[in-house]
Structure 1
């Protein structure tokens, strides 16, 4: 070390040229980006690491100065830090520099005054990557928060216990249950398990345990009681979260309100039931089986006689014959203007089925046009009695009954 005298007359120790050379060498070889700045903001020197991150040579950096490479919006912060450092304070701040390629490189700056050289020496760290990662994570978190806030339901992470202890719930829990997020987390105010309808709690538990045992996802439909005392239908999709060694860590899933859908389905079922009942009533009206005399049933045929209606007529007639023990069945065709082969076949089939039960079938009310159609179709009525009107058919049945009665008495 060399000595020199200060203005006060005392000796001052000055670093030797060898010591300065060692510090200069250390500055150059320092892996961290380093920069010496004087009080005016001029760049005195920059090590190769800083030149590399700045994308400029040391000479270019000297010519530009600190204000030219630091992002404009950070000028005030950098100027204040430089002033504080010249007052022998250790300063630290984050500020980006402008790379020649147009990108910003975010640096973490830490500076201290070096009185011997009357400069502020900054050691920096490139935080561009970590800042980008942090920004991306914040953006993902923001996106997820926005997404969950706009979904019509509640995302969750919970423990596999009877309380379904919630470790995370999204803001949608308020609209679904009436409870705030903090009310449900770790059962602070109530547990999610307490919200289940008593009839649904055990079936839900059983279904989830079965799915977990098979490491399969599960879907559930159940009722909950809200904070206000109402009832809501919920649809849930979830799955178990397992560690690499197969240990169950938690359950994760999503629950949505399907009350309107369930109520609409119930309303639809009620309407369909009503429609079916009305349809049956209409069908019964279209099958007016009348017992016009003891042991005599009459059925007026009105409208189209297709396969479906023919089967219904046959079923209704056979039931009525068995129930009333009737011996005669009259099919009245007064309201039928014409017949085709299919209708003729249906009529014959109905009366043959009646005959198998021991009853006698009669066709009445056959108009001339219908008679001609039956002849033209060569319909095989198989000896089935026919009359021109219902009165004639009824008289025929009564005469036959009287004859049978006399025969039994004789």
Structure 2
């Protein structure tokens, strides 16, 4: 009875028990032997003749040209061929694998292994994204260890602070900045996310301090993301200045649209024109009462000839204004009321018998002159 070759037995055990995804293939990529781990990872099924499918049949169609090119130079390559492609894994989904193989001339076979490259690809994408942010956005990225020593110091925004990338590497933040400037940093070292906005030498910064922990939950480093928001702050200040200017202009416009004119000795006239809303009514009341006190006016004529409509709230303001004028020792007279406004005032249910009204401004002025003529000098 022939004894089994110990070398063959050992090789069989290796392919059976190896945790690695290893294979032997011919020059066309047909899989001659695979480890059980690879067979399970790829759900490889034997064909009717007992052969496994070719390695190229597992490759994603979009990656096939790249794989074929790499495999085509396998025979002539002095070093192992290394290519990262998507392969169909168990369950039918495609995953990134690193395929590394060497051609063995004496065996006329390729010996190789597959390594899951999903995490590697993910890390590469994250690094590229971080680099793009670092190179193109006004941000400063840095990190320190628990002792405060910089292990990362980079970012386009460093130029705004007059610094260069890597300038603080190996230096201690607690020695560079006073204690009051590192209070937020100490919070992050205690495991608390910290966010704040500050201004240094005319540059506005928005900053996040991020605690980084190990598997045991211990904070080992603090990462900093500092964003230069000076342009945004400048735009905000410019916008605020424009809004303030607009507000001042509106105040001037309101003052011009409601001029208080002293048409006679101790007689004021307020000709109202345009839209008369609640906000404007409040301004009018303040201005009129101030002028009544300043000029010691005896009569104030509110001329509504230029107002064609007003809501009930505004009409109520107007009636309150005449009451306030009376409390100051003067008399409020309303002239030029349009029919629509008259209906609004009546709709309020207010008794107008105590308020003097005239059809026109001229009639109102004549009324004031007559009354003043009867008063003792």
TM-score normalized by the length of structure 1 = 0.57
Aligned twin of 1:264: 235
1:239 equivalent to 2:220? Answer no
Where 1:256 maps in the other structure, the secondary structure is strand
- The alignment status of 1:280 with 2:251, answered yes or no, reads yes
- Return the alpha-carbon distance in structure 2 between the equivalents of residues 192 and 179 of structure 1: 18
Match of 2:286 among 315, 327, 348: 315
* Residue from 1, 10, 29 that aligns with 1:29: 10
1:278 is displaced (CA, Å) by 0.5
Provide the alpha-carbon RMSD of the alignment.
4.9
Q: For residues 232 and 165 of structure 1, do their structure 2 counterparts lie closer, same or farther at Cα, with a shift above 3 Å needed?
A: farther
Question: Which position in structure 1 is the counterpart of 2:151?
Answer: 167
The match for 2:277 is 306
1:351-390 superposed matches below 5 A: 351-364=322-335, 366=336, 370=338, 374=342, 380-387=351-358, 389-390=360-361
Q: Which moved more, 1:238-247 or 1:261-270?
A: 238-247
In the superposition, relative to structure 1, how do residues 175 and 75 fare at CA in structure 2: closer, same or farther (>3 Å)? farther
Contact persistence 1:222–1:235 (CA under 8 A): yes
Q: Which stretches in structure 2 are left out of the alignment for 5+ residues?
A: 16-31, 40-45, 51-69, 89-96
Q: Partners of 1:283 and 1:154 in 2: how far apart?
A: 49
1:73 aligns with: 73
> Residue in 2 aligned with 1:250?
221
Aligned to 1:145: 127
Structure having the higher Rg:
1
Instruction: Give the distance between the partners of 1:337 and 1:211, measured in 2 at CA.
Output: 64
Distance verdict in 2 for CA 1:356–1:255, change over 3 Å = same
CA shift for structure 1 position 387: 4.1
The aligned length equals 308
User: Does the 8 Å contact 1:234/1:256 carry over to 2?
Assistant: yes
Q: Does 1:336 align with 2:303?
A: no
**In 2: Cα distance, 1:373 partner to 1:250 partner:** 73
The alignment partner of 2:329 has SS state of: coil
Distance 1:287 1:210, change over 3 A: farther
| Offset, 1:71 | 5.5
1:184 match: 168
- Indicate conservation of the 8 Å contact 2:141/2:225, yes or no: yes
Per-residue deviation, 1:306: 2.9
Q: 1:344 to 1:181 in 2, by over 3 A?
A: closer
CA spacing shift, 1:73–1:167, aligned 2, 3 Å: same
Once residues 132 and 213 of structure 2 are traced to their aligned partners in structure 1, the CA distance between those partners, rounded to angstroms, is 28
SS in 1 for 2:225: strand
Q: CA deviation at 1:138?
A: 5.1
Tell me the distance in 2 between the aligned counterparts of 1:173 and 1:376. 63
Is the aligned partner of 1:158 residue 2:158? no
Q: CA deviation at 1:402?
A: 5.2
Aligned to 2:321: 350
Q: Which moved more, 1:289-298 or 1:270-279?
A: 289-298
Say which SS state the counterpart of residue 168 (structure 1) adopts. strand
State how far apart, in whole Å, the 1-side matches of 2:278 and 2:339 are: 22
Contact in 2 for aligned 1:166/1:192 (Cα 8 Å): no
Q: Which residue of 191, 195, 200 maps to 1:219?
A: 195
Is the contact between residue 74 and residue 102 of structure 2 (CA under 8 Å) also seen in structure 1?
A: no
Distance 1:358 1:277 in 2: 32
- Say whether the 8 Å CA contact 1:341–1:377 is kept in structure 2: no
Partner of residue 42, structure 1: none
Q: Does 1:397 align with 2:368?
A: yes
Per-residue CA deviations over 1:228-259 (Å, capped at 9, x if unaligned) read: xxx54332233212346654322124233322
Q: Is the contact made by 1:239 and 1:251 (CA closer than 8 Å) also made in structure 2?
A: yes
Spell out, residue by residue over 1:261-315, the C-alpha distance to the aligned partner (whole angstroms, 9 max, x if none).
2111111101001001101111111221123344332211222333332233223
Structure 1 spans left out of the alignment, 5+ residues: 1-20, 34-49, 61-69, 79-92, 112-119, 226-230
